Amino acid sequence: MSQKQWIAGINAVSASIEHDAQNVREVLIEAGAKNPRLTEIETAARRADIDVRRVATQALDGVVGNLRHQGVVARYAAAKTWNENELEGLIQAAEGRALVLVLDGVQDPHNLGACLRSAAAAGVTAVIIPKDKSVQVNATVRKTSAGAADSVAVIPVTNLARALRDLQQLGVWIYGLAGEADASLYSIDLRGNVALVLGGEADGLRRLTRDTCDQLVKIPMPGGDAAGGVESLNVSVAAGVTLFEAVRQRG
| Measured CA angle at 152 (ends 113, 125), to 5 deg | 120
Q: Is 219 annotated as a binding residue?
A: yes
Q: Measuring CA to CA, which residue among 174, 166, 82 is closest to residue 127?
A: 82
Residue spans of alpha helices (H) in the chain: 10-20, 36-47, 57-64, 87-93, 109-122, 139-144, 148-151, 160-169, 207-212, 235-250
How far from 59 is each of 12, 21, 51, 104, CA to CA, in Å?
A: 19, 23, 16, 37
Q: Measuring CA to CA, which residue among 105, 111, 96 is closest to residue 190?
A: 96
Helices (H) and strands (E) in the chain, counts: 10, 11
Q: Is 233 annotated as a binding residue?
A: yes
Q: Is 7 annotated as a binding residue?
A: no
Q: Are strands 154-157 and 126-130 parallel, antiparallel or unpaired?
A: parallel
Contact 64, 6 (CB under 8 A): yes
Q: Measuring CA to CA, which residue among 59, 78, 75, 80 is closest to residue 3?
A: 75
- Would you list which residues are annotated within the binding site for S-adenosyl-L-methionine? 199, 219, 233
- Would you list which residues are annotated within the binding site? 199, 219, 233
